Chain A
């Protein structure tokens, strides 16, 4: 092993040793660098941060939700009291519940802003159509997450809003009544409805959201970030003839540009 020339180099090597160890055995450091330090168009700006903002809002929801689940009791006889206890008695409970409650709206609103940005910038066009479709699935899943979460405080607003929401599902033609009965866990809202919504809200739907967001990010990394629609095209040889500037074709598989 060659001895490092200076003390400084020696220090750097020591500091980097754990990362080098990890990289040699897993390639994770390179993977994270590939994900974080990929090339993006030169003049994109704040508009392109809405997706990351939405992701951040989702992670806040996931984190605060896990903490709330440590104190919440999904049982019709004690759900309301446990929410009161979280809000009024437990240290900082009001804060975490408030973050989760308001963060839910922030998440949904940011999703719509992000969707509007993608639509108005034309970023849903070839080759990113599939990512738009995945995004729409995330939107629908996120709304379902909001719907199931709304029942959990188990107060009058929560109860009747869920009654109305379930019955709106029930008015869908043909299968609607079955869908409503599945959501209720029976012909009427009963003791099984709240735990059912709780399980969907904190296990099934977040799992689906994590999977869909992973797919969404994979496609973002694979296809790259779209430019602004007003960006002039710098003699891009990959440009599609006759198409607007900024629409480039992706490099063929395995070719780095």
Chain B
């Protein structure tokens, strides 16, 4: 060996396999979106290229590493008699005793106590940062919205209803829903209430059709919430951000959304229309009161609720 071995830069050998590795990874990522067989092909390319890359990169080291035969000094003196209790302990040099004594104990104690204090301070602080985003999200009563008397909603027509989902929190909770009165079916009123949150990335979808601004009604409900209702005649709904298109039932007809528009559960209390929770919909067969709705628990925009892609989102945070 040369004397200045240690200063030599450890340059990896030249290799083309990183390119193959990158192609494989790119293929996996594209495959995740486009097709599953491509993922398998890409993964195979990446694994093989990665293996060959590592082999290339470590070639220099493999040839240079010299394994010296293990040598052990011959045991001098008699082994301590095992049966003699204390004598079986290894005999320590004085220096060794010093090194593993108080010094190590003090270091370990300082680190341990320091770590404990850090933990006591950090855990509640981080919890305070993270937990409020996930705890107590499901407050039913504050989310129920009174949209006023049923005669605000002409039969067979959409109206745009804007309201505060949580008046205590103010304007930031203003939401919009497209409400259609489907008439009375079997003695019970039927409504189609579509959320305007696009199922792609959450922009507000707009009605594709004339909005009758002059017929806007504003009223304050019993809880003091201001609700605005505007009649509209949409041929469907469209999202201004990335061009997602939906029909009047909220089915995706074109563009990037991964499912249909979300809907609101509702109930009728003393002649008033009350909005309840939101739920996600993949598709709707049929129309109006006879529609068959494929409903799921509320998903975030862009999250698949059906198909194999749903496996990418196995657990949803509490909404």
Residue of B nearest to A251 (CB): B7
- Residues of chain B with a CB closer than 8 A to A188's CB: 165, 173
With both chains docked as a complex, state the minimum distance between the C-beta of A134 and any C-beta of chain B, in angstroms. Answer: 19
B134, A181: Cβ atoms under 8 Å? yes
Nearest B residue to A180, CB-CB: B300
User: Does B105 reach chain A (CB closer than 8 Å)?
Assistant: no
Q: Which of A27-35, A39-47, A170-178 contacts B (4 or more CB under 8 A)?
A: A170-178
A193 CB contacts on chain B under 8 angstroms:
172
Give the interface segment out of B48-56, B69-77, B79-87, B309-317: B309-317
Tell me which residues across on chain A come within 8 A of B302, comparing CB atoms.
167-168, 170-171
CA distance A127 to B11 in the complex (A): 9
Most buried by A among B6, B172, B203, B313: B172
Bound CA span A163–B204, Å: 10
Interface string of B140-172 (1 = CB under 8 A from A): 000000000000000000000000011001111
Which B residue sits closest to A182, measured CB to CB?
B133
B201 proximal to A (CB < 8 A): yes
What is the chain B residue whose CB lies nearest that of A242?
B11
Out of A76, A170, A190, A252, name the residue touching B303 (CB < 8 Å): A170
Chain B min CB distance to A198 (Å): 14
Please measure, in the bound complex, the distance between the C-alpha atom of A160 and the C-alpha atom of B205, giving whole angstroms.
12
Partner of A249, one of B7, B134, B312: B7
Which of B7, B172, B241, B318 is A164 in contact with, Cβ under 8 Å?
B241
Q: Could you say which residues of chain A place their CB within 8 Å of the CB of B134?
A: 178, 181
Query: Is A177 a contact partner of B7 (Cβ separation < 8 A)?
Result: no
With A76-B172, A164-B201, A171-B303 known as contacts, the answer to whether A184 contacts B133 (CB < 8 A) is: yes
Which residues from chain B contact A245 at a C-beta distance below 8 Å? none
Q: For residues 117 through 147 of chain B, which have their beta carbon under 8 Å from a beta carbon of chain A?
A: 130, 132-134, 137
Compute how far the CA of A171 lies from the CA of B299 in the bound complex, rounded to whole angstroms.
10
Tell me which of A170, A176, A182, A252 has the highest count of chain B C-beta atoms within 10 A of its own C-beta.
A170
Contact with A along B1-21 (1 / 0, CB 8 A): 000001111110000000000
Query: Can you name the residue of chain B whose Cβ is closest to the Cβ of A159?
Result: B172
Question: What residues on A are CB-neighbors of B201 within 8 Å?
Answer: 163-164, 167-168, 171
Q: Which of A173, A177, A190 contacts B173 (CB 8 A)?
A: A190
Compute how far the CA of A189 lies from the CA of B319 in the bound complex, rounded to whole angstroms.
12
- Which residues of the partner chain A approach B301 to less than 8 Å between Cβ atoms? 167, 170-171
The reply to whether B203 and A163 form a contact with Cβ atoms under 8 Å apart is: yes
0 or 1 for each of A63-87: is its CB under 8 Å from B? (1 = yes): 0000000000000110000000000
Q: Which residues of B contact A185 (CB under 8 A)?
A: 132-133
Does A186 sit at the interface, judged by CB under 8 A? yes
B241 to chain A: which residues have CB within 8 Å?
A: 160, 164
Instruction: Assess whether A214 is interfacial by the CB under 8 Å rule.
Output: no
Q: Which of B173, B202, B315, B318 has the most CB of A within 10 A?
A: B202
Chain A residues whose CB sits within 8 angstroms of the CB of B130 once the complex forms: 182
Q: Is residue A144 within 8 Å, beta carbon to beta carbon, of the partner chain? A: no
Q: Is the CB of B303 within 8 A of A177?
A: yes
Q: Contact partner of A240 among B9, B132, B166, B303, CB < 8 A?
A: B9
CB distance from B92 to the nearest CB of A (A): 34
Taken residue by residue from 219 to 261, chain B's Cβ proximity to chain A (1 for < 8 Å, 0 otherwise) reads as 0000000000000000000000100000000000000000000
> Given the complex, which residues of B lie within 8 Å of A160, measured CB to CB?
203-204, 241
Q: In whole angstroms, what is the CA distance A177 to B201 when docked?
A: 12
In the bound complex, what is the Cα–Cα distance between A5 and B241 (angstroms)?
Answer: 79
**How far does the Cβ of A132 sit from chain B's closest Cβ, in whole Å?**
15
Which residues of chain A are within 8 angstroms of B202 by Cβ–Cβ distance?
163-164, 166-167
Across-interface contacts of B165 in A (CB, < 8 A)? 188
- Expressed in whole angstroms, the minimum distance between the Cβ of A106 and any Cβ of chain B is 27
The distance in angstroms between the C-alpha atoms of A186 and B300, with both chains bound, is 12
Chain B contacts of A174 at CB under 8 A?
312-315
Taking the closest CB of chain A, its distance from the CB of B243, in whole angstroms, is: 13
Contact B313 A177 (CB under 8 A): yes
Chain B's nearest CB lies how many Å from the CB of A154? 9
Chain B residues with CB below 8 A from A192, complex form? 132
Asked whether A187 lies within 8 Å of B170 as measured between CB atoms, the reply is no
Give, as a whole number of angstroms, the nearest-CB distance from B303 to chain A: 7
- Indicate whether A243 reaches chain B with its CB closer than 8 angstroms: yes
| Contact between chains at A187 and B9 (CB < 8 Å) | no
Q: Is A207 an interface residue (CB 8 A)?
A: no
Known A160-B203, A167-B302, A173-B313; contact A191-B9, beta-carbon cutoff 8 A: no
Within 8 Å CB of A243, what residues of B?
11
Given A164-B241, A186-B133, is A249 in contact with B173 using a C-beta cutoff of 8 Å?
Answer: no
In the complex where A168-B302, A178-B317 touch, is A173 in contact with B172 (Cβ < 8 A)?
no
B residues near A218, Cβ cutoff 8 Å? none
A-B contact pairs, 6 of them (CB 8 A): A126-B10, A164-B202, A166-B202, A177-B315, A240-B8, A240-B9
Interface residues of B (CB under 8 A from A): 6-11, 130, 132-134, 137, 165-166, 169-173, 201-204, 241, 300-303, 312-319
Beyond the given A164-B201, A174-B312, A187-B319, please list 9 additional residue pairs across the A-B interface where CB-CB is below 8 A: A160-B204, A160-B241, A163-B201, A163-B203, A167-B201, A167-B300, A177-B313, A177-B316, A252-B7
